[in-house]
């Protein structure tokens, strides 16, 4: 599988990668999914301290035991929670970040984290303090690189100007083209990579797209109505072929922009994982097909998330 450089770092991530949030809490099942992904050539696993209140990190850590040289581990911080308690609050403080990283290391059973990401962020945060926390962790060798997970253009711009982030994780798909409007080119120009999450748009951009529109699109999605989603998905699926599944179309679409280093998909079952691994057997997407897919949806601007 092709690997892309993550920003200016020396990390090279597989062009499709596994978002671990959907794995559930069955340890054996999660281990099997992760091992199959690694065997297929995926080398980036994305988790967070918040997922299942730390259990997700623990499962990932157990699954990659004795496989450390095969994986790049990304996790996230910023949502302050107490294990066993419901709810959390936003805390991007230096104190919390430098304390919580130790807990993530313990749960993951690792000596260092490859990519440590701020799990959100607002323009009201003490951004310089947050950056200082990550820089110090990097200097200490506790993390190799850091990034942010955010869809807020104004927040992203501040980190581009003021920090040494190597990546930004953001929601991006054919049905959510907001990053195209004001973020992707900015990051590309600064040699900062995108980790594209949600590339299948809740499964609506997959071989089971129409089924997922019925399950998850009844109330619409972003600026699209239920009826629009049905029509769009029917058109989208018409571009499938013997060599390219719906899942592959969706993944290749987001990877077409040079800022995107990897498309991060979730999988709650081996079946879902295998559906996305069909990507590996498909030819590259040419410009003509890319243009036709883009015509299905419309550009959308960030409104509330600034």
| Alpha-carbon torsion (41, 271, 197, 259), positive or negative | positive
**Looking at residue 134, what is its pLDDT?**
98
- Residue 122 falls inside a structural domain: yes
Q: Is the pLDDT of residue 84 over 70?
A: no
Is 299 part of a structural domain of the chain? no
Residue-level pLDDT at 81: 72
Neighbouring C-beta atoms of residue 225, cutoff 10 Å: 12
> Sorting pLDDT into bands at 50, 70 and 90, what band is 85?
low
Which residue range forms the structural domain that includes residue 256?
A: 3-294
Chain-centre distance for alpha carbon 279: 17
Per the domain annotation, does 29 fall within a domain? yes
Catalytic residues: 51
Rounded distance between C-alpha atoms, residue 193 and residue 260, angstroms: 6
Whether residue 90 is predicted with pLDDT greater than 90 in this model: the reply is: no
Judge whether 300 and 149 are in contact, CB under 8 Å.
no
The tokens describing 212, both together, are 């997922």
* Interval 254-271 mean pLDDT: 97
For 197-207, what is the mean pLDDT? Answer: 97
DSSP-assigned states of every residue in 111-152: S-EEEEEE----TTS-HHHHHHHHHHHHHHTSEEEEEEE---
Could you give the CA distance from residue 223 to residue 206 in angstroms, rounded to a whole number? 20
Predicted pLDDT at 304: 80
More confident residue, 51 or 121: 121
Find all residues with CB under 8 Å of 223, minimum gap 6, and list them: 298, 300
Q: Is the pLDDT of residue 298 over 70?
A: yes
Domain of residue 241, CATH code = 3.20.20.100
Query: CA gyration radius for the chain?
Result: 19
Per DSSP, what are the bridge partners of residue 194?
Answer: 168, 260
Asked if the model's pLDDT at residue 74 lies above 90, the reply is: yes
Judge whether 183 lies within some domain: yes
Mean pLDDT of 10-16: 98
Of the two residues 162 and 89, the one the predictor is more confident about is 162
pLDDT at 89: 80
User: In the prediction, which pLDDT does 53 show?
Assistant: 76
Is there a contact between 216 and 229 (Cβ–Cβ < 8 Å)? no
CA distance 165 to 145: 7
Please check whether residue 224 lies inside any domain of the structure. yes
302 is a domain residue: no
The pTM of the whole model exceeds 0.85: yes
Mean pLDDT value across residues 270-282: 96
- Residue 148 within a domain: yes
Average pLDDT over residues 81-100: 82
CA 49 to chain centre: 15
**Residue 303 domain-assigned?**
no
pLDDT of 82 over the 70 cut: no
**pLDDT tens digits, 124-142:** 999 999 999 999 999 999 9
Q: What per-residue confidence (pLDDT) applies to 51? A: 81
Q: Does position 267 have pLDDT exceeding 80, yes or no?
A: yes
pLDDT tens, residue by residue, 142-198: 999 999 999 999 999 999 999 999 999 999 999 999 999 999 999 999 999 999 999
Kind plus residue range of the DSSP H or E element containing 55: helix 55-63
The domain total for the chain is 1
């Amino acid at each position: 599988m092709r690997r892309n450089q993550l920003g200016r770092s020396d990390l090279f991530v597989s062009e499709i990668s596994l978002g671990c949030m959907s794995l559930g809490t069955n340890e054996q099942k999660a281990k099997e999914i992760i091992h199959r992904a690694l065997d297929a050539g995926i080398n980036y696993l994305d988790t967070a301290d918040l997922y299942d209140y730390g259990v997700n990190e623990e499962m990932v850590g157990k699954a990659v035991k004795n496989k450390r040289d095969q994986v790049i581990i990304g996790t996230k911080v910023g949502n302050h929670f107490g294990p066993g308690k419901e709810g959390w609050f936003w805390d991007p403080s230096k104190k919390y970040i430098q304390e919580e990283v130790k807990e993530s290391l313990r749960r993951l059973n690792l000596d260092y984290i490859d990519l440590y990401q701020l799990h959100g962020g607002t323009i009201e945060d003490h951004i310089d303090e947050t950056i200082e926390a990550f820089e110090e962790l990097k200097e200490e060798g506790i993390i190799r690189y850091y990034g942010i997970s955010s869809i807020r253009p104004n927040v992203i711009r501040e980190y581009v100007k003021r920090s040494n982030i190597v990546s930004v994780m953001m929601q991006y798909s054919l049905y959510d083209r907001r990053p195209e409007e004001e973020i992707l080119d900015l990051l590309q120009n600064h040699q900062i990579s995108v980790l594209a999450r949600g590339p299948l748009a809740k499964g609506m951009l997959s071989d089971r797209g129409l089924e997922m529109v019925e399950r998850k699109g009844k109330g619409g999605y972003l600026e699209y109505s239920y009826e629009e989603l049905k029509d769009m998905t029917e058109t989208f699926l018409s571009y499938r072929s013997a060599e390219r599944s719906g899942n592959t179309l969706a993944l290749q679409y987001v990877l077409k922009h040079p800022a995107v280093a990897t498309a991060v998909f979730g999988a709650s079952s081996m079946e879902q994982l295998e559906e996305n691994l069909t990507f590996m057997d498909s030819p590259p997407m040419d410009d003509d097909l890319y243009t036709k897919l883009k015509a299905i949806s419309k550009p959308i601007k960030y409104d509330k998330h600034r």
